[in-house]
Amino acid sequence: KTVYSVLRTLSLQFFTGGLKKTYLGAEIISYNNEQVILTPNFKAALKNSYFKKLLLDLLKTSFYKAKDFDDTASLTRYEKYRRRDVLRSLNWNEQMVDQNIGGYVQKDGQFIIFVTLEKGDNFKGAQMSYEDSLVNESTLRWFTKSPRTLNSPEVKILQNPQGWHVHLFVKKSNDEGIDFYYLGEVQPIQETIKELKKTTQKGKQQSVVEMDLHLLTPISYKLYKYLT
């Protein structure tokens, strides 16, 4: 089931243009009438014993690493994900460039938030100082991008999140690389949502929205202590 899902996602991405330019001429699968089949070129490549050995090694490694993940859910709490891997796990056809995702992205009932707690003085993604922080094992204080107001589309979603799954991914600092821990789903605490002004790095005032996010399942004390 997992292999079929991955192949189907890849084929959809290719034929809708998501991977077409990058892998044009090197397709390994084709997709036709809900059926995923191997391409003639890939079948020919499998006749090369060394290529087949490398492919089998890759598959064995993938299945070994997959044992750490819950195969009954799209995402596994406490495991680490890159931004692009989250979109793949949620089966989005559109694969966005990581830099375009930034701090959060929302689509098709899924609202995904990425937070770097210790940003440092040279944090490239910030126009201003963000004080995102874990208040306790069940609460994260979070700021939207700027400029945003209470009438911004994503804020409206978080003010009325029925029908949306809001996922939280956190890493301690950029020293950890580009992987984020998945902490689970959260709910915005409505009475904490407020608009305020913050000073940008250029000295200008811009509006931003602050809120507390409640984790539906508190994170483990060990991970909480590490992140804080």
* Percent of the chain topping pLDDT 70: 86
* Percent of the chain topping pLDDT 90: 57
Residues of the chain with CATH 2.30.280: 80-227
For residue range 179-228, list pLDDT tens digits in order.
Answer: 999 999 999 999 999 999 988 878 889 999 999 999 999 999 999 999 99
Q: How far is CA 45 from the centre of its chain?
A: 33
| pTM exceeding the 0.75 threshold for the entire prediction | yes
Instruction: Specify which of 4-8, 26-30, 165-169 reaches the highest per-range mean pLDDT.
Output: 165-169
Pairing label, strands 180-188, 80-81: antiparallel
Residue 22 has pLDDT above 60, yes or no: yes
Q: What is the distance between the alpha carbons of residues 149 and 158, in angstroms, rounded to a whole number?
A: 12
CATH number of the domain at 80-227, out of 2.30.280, 2.60.40, 2.40.128, 1.10.357? 2.30.280
pLDDT of residue 1: 41
77 vs 11, residue with greater confidence: 77
Residue 4 has pLDDT above 60, yes or no: no
Residue 150 has pLDDT above 70, yes or no: yes
For residue range 43-90, list pLDDT tens digits in order.
Answer: 999 999 999 999 999 999 988 888 889 888 999 999 999 998 898 888
For residue 160, what are its two tokens? 């009325």
